[in-house]
Amino acid sequence: MKNKIRIAAGQGFWGDRADAPVEQVRKGPVDYLIMDYLAEVTMSIMQKQKMRDPNQGYARDLIPLMKEILPDIVEKDIKVITNAGGVNPLACREAIFEVARNLGLADVKIGIVSGDDIRDQVDTLLKSGNYLNHMESGESIQSIADRLYSANVYLGAQPVVEALRQGAQIIITGRVTDTGLTLAPMIYEFGWQESDYHKLAAGIIAGHIIECGAQVSGGNFLAGWREVPDMAHIGFPIIEAYPDAEFVVTKHENTGGLIDLRTVKEQIVYELGDPTTYITPDVIADFTSIQLEQEAENRVRVRGIQGRPPTDSYKVSVSYADGWTSLSKLTFAWPDALEKAQKADDILRQRIKDLHLEFEEIHTEFLGVNACHGPLAHPVDEPNEVILQIGIRGVHQADFLRFGREMVPLILSGPPTATGFSAGRSRPKEVVAFWPALIPKSLIAPRCDVKGLEK
Amino acid sequence: MKVKLIELAHGRSGDKGDTANVGIIAYKPEYYAFLKRVLTPEKVKQHFTGICKGKVERFEMPNICAFNFLLHQSLGGGGTRSLRHDAQGKTLSTAFLRMELELPDELAEKWGFK
């Protein structure tokens, strides 16, 4: 058994800094590279891509990245765990095999984890029982069953652990929890058992701390952003994990960024619910048990974490089509910029009435004045410019197209000094809404499949 | 004397559907004890008038001198439905920290605010 492993985070979301994972494998020692690509909305985007092309439906950015780092990870024996597989882990694996073949690295073994995608089982589940009711309202999923995009169970660390046991060097998953990606190597390397609740909870909290990438190492750092050195080369976080479930949050030397008690605390509270009851498929973690200690520069030690047995259910995220929105913007300059923008807003609302356009919601914000803090914003004297943003939401696509023709004409027919219209007419964007539900674990069969290139 | 919460604490905010979470982290343990008395859910709900349309829940995290607040129905429907520029509530942390508090004179003196 290893007495320490180093787990590096390479992506906080699909679209995060492209060279971060490259630096994680090159700038210092790491044993695992984990990358989180999946937000709720990502699954529905991937599902739409797969409907158009059955070979798509995963995070395509992974492929050029693997082209760049596969030689490094093979040479240094670094394992890669990522949920980049989205709704098509199989196609993602084939694309990486193609890269491996071209690089002459034919020995690499790749595992896929699936069983999370239950979109095709929703009808059967509905027939067999009262499943997938809305977690908060209790409403039956029947009401949206005809406009589903995706339905995915949040799986835990166990199928990833199984893929590691079968010798996979790269593991591509569907919807595995962000935190499970980090916990899995600890279970595998340190031989933790399913009933080691405190240890499992520590692994989950380690995952929570690094799942948003640089947001723990000096990014979005409210308490002291001016103190953060070299943000242009910010180092992504690394967990140095120990068999007794203590761990250290750190980063490579010679990188920018900052890790201290304040940066770690800000990340601990990010997107948190009840801190005593952080529910995951593997364990329930208690964030009020976390003890932090700054043991050296850019090294925060975490200990004392407690956990308790998980529930009998998996969480399911179902995405479905729910109408349209659009946002339109127009800029007005000094003098009286706010007053002009307000006048333009009045005109647009009058036009919507006159044209009998039907929207469920019209929402106006004045960027530079109150967009972020709304009624809590302090009045601004004589702003140099104000951007009017008018948002609409509704179900009739034709009304959106008609409204799109109303904003730009205000340049000539509305209050003076309007500008910033180079983007042209706004286009309606489909709303993908989410339906959170629970499903008994006994109905779900997580799977892993590990294989090498066929020679 | 009056102080702004931002002098006593920092924080971070994010979203879960239409619920915003704001973590408020006291800079010092003695500030935490004071904030525990004054940052009641009622006071926070009142501060967010016009933004928070649901209930406010407060959870204590004495281990890191922090509180987690859940502000229900605060993000214009949340996620992709929201028409807010800040649909994910990323800036509600500093909206929270604008709050003005009445700091008793003896604490103001002890903590060097006077």
Q: Which tens digit of pLDDT belongs to each residue from A324-366?
A: 999 999 999 999 999 999 999 999 999 999 999 999 999 999 9
State how far the Cα of B73 lies from the Cα of A32, in Å rounded to an integer: 39
Give mean pLDDT, residues A171-190: 98
Pairs across A and B, CB distance < 8 A: 122
Contact A265 B64 (CB under 8 A): yes
Contact A373 B47 (CB under 8 A): no
Instruction: With a cut of 80, say whether residue A392 has pLDDT above it.
Output: yes
CB A299 within 8 Å of CB A250: yes
Instruction: With a cut of 90, say whether residue A292 has pLDDT above it.
Output: yes
Weakest mean pLDDT among A148-152, A162-166, A236-240: A148-152
Instruction: With a cut of 90, say whether residue A1 has pLDDT above it.
Output: no
Instruction: With a cut of 80, say whether residue A455 has pLDDT above it.
Output: no
Answer whether B72 touches A (CB < 8 Å).
no
- The interface residues of chain A toward chain B in range 260-289, judged by CB-CB distance below 8 A, are 262, 265-276, 287-289
- The interface residues of chain A toward chain B in range 139-168, judged by CB-CB distance below 8 A, are none
- State pLDDT tens for residues B23-52: 999 999 999 999 999 999 999 999 999 999
Answer whether A374 touches B (CB < 8 Å).
yes
Q: Is the peptide bond before A89 cis (omega within 30 degrees of 0)?
A: no
pLDDT cut 90: percent of chain A above it: 92
Number of domains making up chain B: 1
Q: What are the residue boundaries of the structural domains of chain A, listed by start?
A: 5-116+154-311, 320-433
Of B23, B79, B98, the CB nearest to A41: B79
Q: Which residues contact B92 (CB under 8 A, 6 or more apart)?
A: B13, B20, B22, B51, B71, B74, B86
Set of chain A residues whose Cβ sits within 8 Å of the Cβ of B25: 223, 262, 265-266, 269
Give the pLDDT band of residue B109 (cuts 50, 70, 90). Answer: very high
Q: Which pLDDT score is estimated for B78? A: 86
Topology of A320-433 in CATH?
Alpha-Beta Plaits (3.30.70)
CA nearest to B76, candidates B67, B66, B68, B86: B86
State how far the Cα of A66 lies from the Cα of A76, in Å rounded to an integer: 14
Average pLDDT score, chain A: 96
Q: Which pLDDT score is estimated for B79? A: 80
Q: Which pLDDT score is estimated for A424? A: 77
Give the pLDDT band of residue A426 (cuts 50, 70, 90). Answer: confident
Residue range of the domain that includes B82: 2-110
- The interface residues of chain B toward chain A in range 75-94, judged by CB-CB distance below 8 A, are 76-77, 79-81, 83-86, 91, 93-94
State how far the Cα of A383 lies from the Cα of A451, in Å rounded to an integer: 62
Answer whether A365 touches B (CB < 8 Å).
yes
